[in-house]
A and B are shown apart, each in its own frame.
Chain A
Amino acid sequence: MIKNVEIMVIGGGPAGLCAALSASDLGVGISAPDLGVGISAPDLGVGISAPDLGVGVLLVERDDVAGGQLVKQTHKFFGSEKQYAGDRGIHIGQMLVEKAQADSNIEIWTDSTVLGIYEDGVVTVLHEDKHIKVKPERIIIATGAAEKFLAFPGNDLPGIYGAGAVQTLMNVAGVKPAERVLMVGAGNIGLIVSYQLKQAGIDVVAVIEGQPKIGGYLVHASKIRRAGIPVLTRHTILEAYGNGRVEGALITEIDESWLPIPGTERKIVCDTICLAVGLSPLTELAWQAGCEMGFIRELSGHVPIFDENLETTCPGIYCAGDVCGIEEASSAMVEGRLAGINAAASLGYGVSEAEKFRKDAMIELEELRSGDMGGHIRVGLEKMYARCKK
């Protein structure tokens, strides 16, 4: 049996949750029974559900809870009020999940993995140990990103983690994962996880960064610096050492060509090395679905080519969040909202309001990206739109 849905959202992180909620807000799922899916007029009757037509929005999340990375973001978010600035990520996640759960137009499948998107529009999902076929009218890919790794001798020793993994152990599982940590990478993840390690009573010996400048927000850097954690730019890790597990690391200063400066090597005693050296978009489903892909460095690698509506080159397949370029969670939420609006509007929902909502979201994104820190995203998107028009 095939399950019919109007909009399928793949990934229940900030982008996916906001996509599902905005699509529902525009009326997806509130169909008049005698009209077919996609041609209903929401004005005909709010709350008239049509079970035989399938669900409005199906949100599929691989983890056992929705929320994505928000479930471990214990720090307060930046941005403006519209992106819940000042609220902690965990609370934003809870709020979005509760809203989606309470929304009768949204069905949430957790612990469920999308396996493939096929030519005939069928999407297969592993859900409750069953192989289920879903036929969505529209798909929003919001699969997020994965942490990058770093090549150095000894990097296979137990005690070497992605910073996000350590954050999960601490903030989700409640496990103290280390006693003394060396953090590699001074982007926002490296800085924030260092702060959270310190909050958990764990020593962070240093944060090292190959770039000459701190990549993350300087307020995060200042916060950990005054707590006693040195941030060493133009430094890299040469090797990890230890007998059976990490006992320390050899670090060095590097010059402008990223070559080690002889005589600057030093040993750092630590039991854990956290790598926070960037993220890669999780694009497998976009590749597999046949979306045209492009390598755009500023968006952090291969991403599906998309237009201003976040629609990929496969009609009806949209993308939002880190999968279409690594950014902050605040931008992911707005992108999700935008993809949800566009997917819903393309099905004929909320056409009168969609234009205003779309504009609002575009303005918010522009605002979030307009500062110094958004420079690379602006360049990346310019390249994207140039590619897209070809």
Chain B
Amino acid sequence: MMSQWVDICNVSDLQPDSGVCALVDETQVAIFYLAEDELVYAIDNYDPFGKVHVLSRGMIGDIKGEPMVASPLYKQHFNLKTGLCLEDETVQVPAYGARINGERVEINLSGAGQ
């Protein structure tokens, strides 16, 4: 499938070391910005445990070197690259392509991770 990079916002719209949410088609995408490394990650905003759209509002960091977000509701961790839940390997949220292109942030719904 051809990758579809969608323009989202300016880098300055992102929150350093934290997340924001974007609406891409009908999908809520959580975008996380590691300011120092100038890296962005994107996974789905839906928290499969809390069953609501809140992952963009979780805290980020790394566990054993892997970047992760902790759900703001019940604190499960999700790998930012793969969307895999660290506490329960059977649970995975979709991970999306994300990149910084000059001053712009772009998301690719079909490209998992980067």
The finding on whether chains A and B are genuine partners in a shared complex, rather than unrelated, reads no
Instruction: Report B's interface with A, CB cutoff 8 A.
Output: none
